Structure 1
């Protein structure tokens, strides 16, 4: 196999050692963030709608339901704290795409892509409108996203109306690795993800939603009216929306539909004025390179750089475990790749390192459905693009619970389900074979082998 730029231009080990020295294993976004505490549920309550999950999908569902019908009684149940999992620890890219990018959408639903792209942009505009309407302090920046080519074979992937040649992309952000770029100026915003989760919770409670934290749901039962059972109580509700993300589904039919894949992130200390000048980045776009194993990175409000991605690690058994969040080899690899990208920042240190589980499904984007005669709705499988797509998913679930046909519910993308993952040990074997094949493709001018082509043909994928 050949080499990638991250191997050809690897920084000295001492540079990485210095940068990682005294890094805190803590989520920067959640670190020292003041939050409102919500009580745990004790006893039985009744509601028109019970929402399971206190991340973006659950919070958006509660808010959108209240906006549709302010008199509707809504209870939201969260096993830990609002926004503590994926919603509070992601990179803070809020993308318009509902299909994990145009290429994935075109491969699966080519006849719907114009419609899906329009709906995605309308959804992103809707998020911005909600932020403005309720005065949400979430560090929202509609700066777009710049995809960059760091290998010669990736340059042709950048071609299009937003194409930037090497000189143009270097004038936006200075990195010796950049060969070309493509700047989507409208389809992505930067946001503080933890603040977004907490502000959604604030808005929900102000609209009259009851939120219960430290309340783990143990089951959902009932042929008509549903009973949502918890460890210390229950909610009796007309309808239930399940927004459980990477955690085990409460519906047996969905147990093999997603797998938790761990993604790793570093955060730098704030850049000095001289360091900012050295890299440019005046337009503050989100950045992502273009290999199968890709990095995403962005500036924070106080001019730190978040740098994450590349490794997407699946652990045998498909469990979500805190111990999986500490993986020194992944953090060292990210630090090395960071200084390959920005060698002019040598000496900069990382203050935080963390990880989190992504609810990955085989088609790379969310899927939807109902159960119990339409009393229960679910949306999951966002595969890393849930910051924006969860609002769209909330509307889909509410449409389905209302039993109404809308433009959203008639989409083939909404009406179809992905291929399930196999049970263990086949799941771990398969996922690791795919990761190895994707790594080989990145080292072979992007050429996908027969194994990956076969998976592409049946719509079975794996991504971070």
Structure 2
């Protein structure tokens, strides 16, 4: 969805004049007070490191499996402050970053992966109801929209292929008239509506609700308590923090984009910065002009894609397109704000919805996503099975982290389950090379993807080579 030619009055930059560079979700008045930091020594059966979705789901599921298990969770800042509180709120059943990616990598397991993913989303919905988590959960589904003729044909071809394979359950192909009847944009040429496979929610409220549920079940939560070191201690493990130490029989690492306490895992992920805008609440007339009565999540099908959705208070979140990798893979607060990307996103927004000219953005923010070379999570253990980790969710963490929590707990228990027998769980992606090769390769890939978008989707030699090596991105 290319930006229109720049006009002299710069409508889109005017729309950003009052945007605050903070995540909209984290400004909610229901934000809980942080729990105190750990001081002194603690012992437990299970220590969970990280207070995002990955860690929170692990602690919660651990207590649900065994209410007598003694669980401690430590978080370096506050629960949900990083990627878990900054994302678009798309909670997907997919465990593989889209069906195409899953088919390319695990064709023999794809039906199992689809079934487990659907079950995982159902379990999330049940857990939200069971624990009374108010996070604006809506099982609306998602429409993948085409904005170019070649994309419309690709969507139709893909729909027909998934039907042949028996993988199109709950998915509907929409031609131009049908997709614009759902959401009115002159740029939409076709769509694939996955009616049940995606839910919309308030991402920060989900994280805060999971924290409250953990506390009610007896998990001891310590915030502003970063984990500094991890080392064996007797029959278990010890984690040192600034003011204390935790000794645990088992440790689950949910640190994702931040450097793993298991050093050999670090080469498998890189941080990629994603950015989003949030509009002011739309008036009834503005809402009517875009339709969107079914409130689906949307994403366009370009390589450099946008994702967009309605919030509970009738704002539009508009994000994606730019994916920025900082040289050296550094995670720094100053990268969370990128005005040049906000201006680009605003121009794209008004190209998609010209009828909303004059709407202003109230928030503009960014954050780091942990990305691996296969674009979906990987798993493993360390220290003779006493430590488990899951990372590399690449934007799927709202939903897939609960599945990852189940995998980590299975691995720590030494259990062979349907989850742990998956090739996706047993095998890791290729690691990223050291600098400057990582930055060069990522930059070349990004340039090639943009070129493919501008040339009818045609993939150049670099992308075709990446595809053959299993490093291609095709969702």
Query: TM-score, length-normalised on structure 2?
Result: 0.95
Aligned counterpart in structure 2 of residue 20 of structure 1, from 16, 29, 38: 16
Pair 1:103–1:463, CA change in 2 (3 A): closer
Secondary structure of 2:407 counterpart: helix
The answer to whether residue 155 in structure 2 is matched with residue 168 in structure 1 is no
The answer to whether residue 200 in structure 2 is matched with residue 190 in structure 1 is yes
**Range moving further from structure 2, 268-277 or 30-39:** 30-39
The answer to whether residue 235 in structure 2 is matched with residue 261 in structure 1 is no
Deviation at 1:379, TM superposition (A): 0.1
The answer to whether residue 424 in structure 2 is matched with residue 428 in structure 1 is no
Tell whether the 8 Å contact from 2:101 to 2:474 is kept in structure 1 after alignment: no
Which residue in 1 is equivalent to 2:456? 445
Which residue in 1 is equivalent to 2:83? 86
Which residue in 2 is equivalent to 1:310? 321
Pair 1:300–1:12, CA change in 2 (3 A): farther
Q: Separation in 2 of the partners of 1:414 and 1:298?
A: 31
Deviation at 1:163, TM superposition (A): 0.5
Aligned counterpart in structure 2 of residue 124 of structure 1, from 81, 98, 121: 121
Aligned counterpart in structure 2 of residue 394 of structure 1, from 389, 402, 405: 405
Secondary structure of 1:76 counterpart: strand
**Deviation by residue 1:357-392 (Cα, 9 ceiling, x = unmatched):** 000000000000001110000000000011000000
Which residue in 1 is equivalent to 2:291? 280
**Deviation by residue 1:176-217 (Cα, 9 ceiling, x = unmatched):** 000000100000000000000000000000000000000011
Deviation at 1:157, TM superposition (A): 2.5
The answer to whether residue 56 in structure 2 is matched with residue 30 in structure 1 is no
Deviation at 1:9, TM superposition (A): 6.3
Q: Separation in 2 of the partners of 1:462 and 1:233?
A: 43
Q: Separation in 2 of the partners of 1:57 and 1:68?
A: 16
**Deviation by residue 1:1-32 (Cα, 9 ceiling, x = unmatched):** xxxx5245666652112211111111100014
Secondary structure of 2:246 counterpart: strand
Which residue in 2 is equivalent to 1:235? 246
Q: Separation in 2 of the partners of 1:23 and 1:249?
A: 34
The answer to whether residue 110 in structure 2 is matched with residue 99 in structure 1 is no
Q: Separation in 1 of the partners of 2:420 and 2:317?
A: 36
Which residue in 2 is equivalent to 1:246? 257
Q: Separation in 2 of the partners of 1:47 and 1:30?
A: 31
Which residue in 2 is equivalent to 1:134? 131
Which residue in 1 is equivalent to 2:163? none
Secondary structure of 1:148 counterpart: strand
Which residue in 1 is equivalent to 2:56? 59
Which residue in 2 is equivalent to 1:336? 347
Which residue in 2 is equivalent to 1:6? 2
Q: List gaps (5 residues or longer) in structure 2.
A: 160-170
Q: Separation in 2 of the partners of 1:364 and 1:140?
A: 25
1:283-432 residue pairs with structure 2 within 5 A? 283-432=294-443
Secondary structure of 2:449 counterpart: helix
**Range moving further from structure 2, 252-261 or 33-42:** 33-42
Deviation at 1:37, TM superposition (A): 2.0
Tell whether the 8 Å contact from 2:3 to 2:344 is kept in structure 1 after alignment: no
Tell whether the 8 Å contact from 2:464 to 2:472 is kept in structure 1 after alignment: no
The answer to whether residue 219 in structure 2 is matched with residue 209 in structure 1 is yes
User: How many residue pairs are counted as aligned between the two chains?
Assistant: 460
Pair 1:101–1:378, CA change in 2 (3 A): same
Tell whether the 8 Å contact from 2:299 to 2:305 is kept in structure 1 after alignment: yes
Q: Separation in 2 of the partners of 1:434 and 1:180?
A: 27
Q: Separation in 1 of the partners of 2:330 and 2:472?
A: 20
Aligned counterpart in structure 2 of residue 112 of structure 1, from 99, 109, 113: 109
Which residue in 2 is equivalent to 1:44? 41
Pair 1:84–1:259, CA change in 2 (3 A): same
Query: TM-score, length-normalised on structure 1?
Result: 0.97
**Deviation by residue 1:299-350 (Cα, 9 ceiling, x = unmatched):** 0000000000000000111011011111111000000000000000000000
Q: List gaps (5 residues or longer) in structure 1.
A: none
Secondary structure of 2:139 counterpart: coil
Q: Separation in 1 of the partners of 2:340 and 2:139?
A: 34
Q: Separation in 2 of the partners of 1:17 and 1:244?
A: 36
